[in-house]
Amino acid sequence: MTTKRAGRLAIDGGAPVRTTFLPYARQTIEAEDEAAVLAALRSDWLTTGPRIRELEVALEEVTGARHAVLFSSGTAALHGAMAVLDIAPGDEVVTTPMTFSATANATLYVGGEVRFADVRPDTLLLDPDAVRTATTPRTRAIVATDYAGQPADYGALRSVAEAAPGGPVALVADAAHSLGGSRAGVRVGQLADMTILSLHPAKIVTTGEGGAVLTDRDEWPERLRRFRNHGISTELGARRDWRYDLVELGYNYRLTDIGAALGLAQLGRLERFITRRQAIAARYREAFAGEERFDLPVTDPDVEHARHLYVVQLRLDRLGVDRAAVYAAMKAEGIGVNVHYIPVHQLSLYRERYPDVSMPVADAAYERMLTLPLFPAMTDGDVDDVVAAMTKVLDAYPR
């Protein structure tokens, strides 16, 4: 239930736009999800069972990728990707600062070094020219993030990867935001050598916690499966007796059948989820048309955007207040805004490790960005509440 009233800001004691809090993201759980999870709970397999492969096959069909390998999280999938690329001490991986820290952390997990490249000021996607400058003879991979749900420019990045100073390097898509999207008619899952999915509750579809690696390369899936299963040579369902062998160091990064059951039910509604996300984004764009106090997200013309996040950039020179004040005021109005992301190189671990890194575009964007709520279960009334709150707050802070 919402209540719209003009007047003082809620943070100053006025009535809020909403009396019930609207988060920036929320999973969509329906009866078929509950039934699928209950069926898994009542089955003989809570983990290492048949639903794992069923969901992998479903992901292959949806994305067009030749292989899908499930993991317990998107972070685990990134770790697996770096491991099978044989990133080792002395190797460098070029990536974006405008992402969640896991994208960069995976390189450190395997002993490699991170080299950041700046982003484009319009889309906040990894800038191919900046990547070209960042590559060295030690570069072994480029990891792009499909920021907010928009696939990166993998055509341009492929050219950079193939012309790297030390020879061609792997191109990895961190597609945690972009399942269901495409660029130039090519679906996410087929744009890079490896594509990493997150199946976290805030993402496009969820398994609770979960992730996956997609690839067309036949030599990687077996290694990825060993990596997620302690380094054991055969998975439980393939063994004829009690014997198995440990052939390399791996981790317990397995997804449960309970999570896979949820993911299978969710994946069947992927198209509906994307359509609703795009409709919400369109409603924001229409409502904010002509707004001069912030910039709306920019989408490249050849992109099918998955709309995981809706990030606006405040024009601070046209406001009488900073982003922190707008953030606090919106929260008080019942609107769960957020900020995506603190650039990774600004975080203490990376600032101490790479003290000389400067990313001017990412740094400037960070000071202005604000994430508005967007998830499929939002009603048009919810969107209107966000618009009303944003207008109310900005009107309260004239330049």
CATH code at position 254: 3.40.640.10
Among candidate residues 252, 267, 282, the one where a domain is terminated: 267
249 and 333 housed in the same domain:
no
Of 235, 267, 299, the last residue of a domain is 267
The pLDDT confidence band at residue 7, using thresholds 50, 70 and 90, is low
Identity of the amino acid at 256: T
Answer whether residue 62 is part of any domain. yes
Active-site residue, from 4, 203, 331, 392: 203
- What does the alpha-carbon distance between residue 255 and residue 231 come to, in Å, rounded to a whole number? 15
Q: State pLDDT tens for residues 91-125.
A: 999 999 999 999 999 999 999 999 999 999 999 99
Residue 331 annotated to the active site:
no
Q: Hey, is 129 helix, strand or coil?
A: helix
Spatial CB neighbours of 36, under 8 Å, sequence gap ≥ 6: 261, 262, 264, 265
144 with 95: CB under 8 angstroms? yes
pLDDT score of 318? 95
Residue 370, classed as helix, strand or coil, is strand
Quick one: 91 and 135 in the same domain?
A: yes
Q: Is 5 domain-assigned? A: no
**Least confident interval from 8-17, 61-70, 91-100, 237-246:** 237-246
Does 21 lie in the same domain as 117?
no
Q: Stretch 57-69: mean pLDDT, rounded?
A: 98
Q: Which of 243, 267, 291 is the last residue of a domain?
A: 267
* CA–CA dist 202, 308 (Å, integer): 8
Tell me if 98 is assigned to some domain: yes
Does residue 120 sit in the same domain as residue 193? yes
* CB half-sphere exposure, 307, CA atoms < 13 A: 23
Decide which of 60 and 3 is more confident: 60
Average pLDDT over residues 350-379: 98
178-197, pLDDT tens digit by residue? 999 999 999 999 999 999 99
**What average pLDDT does the segment 139-152 reach?**
98
- Are 251 and 293 within one domain? no
Q: Which domain holds residue 360?
A: 10-27+270-395
Least confident segment among 4-8, 120-124, 222-226, 303-307: 4-8
Both tokens assigned to 297: 């997200």
Question: How many structural domains comprise the chain?
Answer: 2
Kindly state whether residues 197 and 60 are assigned to the same domain: yes
> Do residues 311 and 148 make contact, with C-beta atoms less than 8 angstroms apart?
yes
Residue 399 has pLDDT above 90, yes or no: no
Instruction: Return the pLDDT at 241.
Output: 81
**Which long-range CB contacts under 8 A does 216-221 form with residues at least 24 apart?**
216/65, 216/66, 216/67, 216/190, 217/66, 217/67, 217/193, 218/66, 218/67, 220/67, 220/84, 220/194, 221/67, 221/69
pLDDT mean across residues, the chain: 96
Which amino acid would we find at residue 73?
S
> What is the number of alpha carbons within 13 Å of residue 149 lying toward its C-beta?
26
List the 294-295 sheet strands across, edge first.
Answer: 294-295, 310-314, 369-372
Sign of the alpha-carbon torsion through 387, 29, 180, 219 = positive
Residue 248 counted as domain residue:
yes
Q: Does the model's pTM come out above 0.85?
A: yes
